[in-house]
Amino acid sequence: MKQASVYQSIKLSKKSSSKIEDNLVIEAPLQININKEAYTVVMRTPGNDVELVRGLLYAEDIYKKEENLNISFIENNDDFSAVLNVDISKESLGKGYLNKRTLLSVSSCGICGKKELGDLKTNGNSLKNNIKESVNISIDMFLKMSDLQFLFKKTGGSHACAVFNSKKELLTIKEDIGRHNAVDKCVGDLLNNNKLKNANYMLVSGRVSYEIVSKAFLAKIPIIIAVSACSSLAVDFAKEFGICLIGFSRDEKMTIYSNPQYINYER
């Protein structure tokens, strides 16, 4: 099963820029049906889907028995999305099924828990940004974010999101055990203080998945800069949404995965 895809990107350093082909981990939705009714959607890397579903149903107290389940693919699409159906008798359904979904992964994946693949669609016109930034766009901003990550300094176990305006002035920074929660906290803070319209850069301490790109798009924040990697679906949607997505921003280096026209990277 294919678990990574090659994407063209632009790798920047302090003195040079070059076009490269980069392997990104595939992120794609898996819809889980129970007795032919949509139950939930989880984001995953393709492969071992049956094992994923079996373990998830066990952890969620939906099916605790050790007997094998009848798990079958209904869809297995070219974009790596898939739909599985699980047949479970009413007598064998655990108490977790009555909760109609409280997946354990909610702190790390905000999209998990949608009922059907179609629920992932986000409507709206793509963003536009004519600002041309220099190659060192993120260095000072990441230093500011790092200085204010008090929970991480204390525990080493939290993620951070920071949002800056077009002048690279800090608007808000929030920490949370979940990457998506930190993003939501920042957007909520900006909404409460009527500053969301000033947001231009979103910095995140970890990797970027589809959900973070979607949240930035809904908040109309055109540039996302991450310390770590970006998933395949994050790049696909960033291209569609008009978002400049930058990953591996560290040690005066970064990789641009989408909409490089926002950045003045020529040498």
pLDDT tens, position by position, 154-210 = 989 889 999 999 899 999 999 988 888 799 889 989 998 989 999 999 999 989 988
In the chain, pLDDT over 70 holds for what percent of residues?
Answer: 85
State yes or no: 248 annotated in a binding site.
Answer: yes
State yes or no: 253 annotated in a binding site.
Answer: yes
Residue with tokens 């159906």: 85
Domains present along the chain, CATH in parentheses: 4-24+123-262 (3.40.140.10), 28-120 (no CATH)
Q: Which residues fall within 8 angstroms of residue 223, CB to CB, at 6 or more apart? A: 129, 137, 200, 201, 202, 243, 244, 246, 262
State yes or no: 152 annotated in a binding site.
Answer: no
pTM of the model: 0.75
pLDDT tens, position by position, 6-19 = 999 998 887 788 99
Per-residue pLDDT, 107: 36
Residues, the chain, total?
Answer: 267
Lowest mean pLDDT among 3-12, 24-33, 124-133: 124-133
Q: Which residues are catalytic?
A: 109
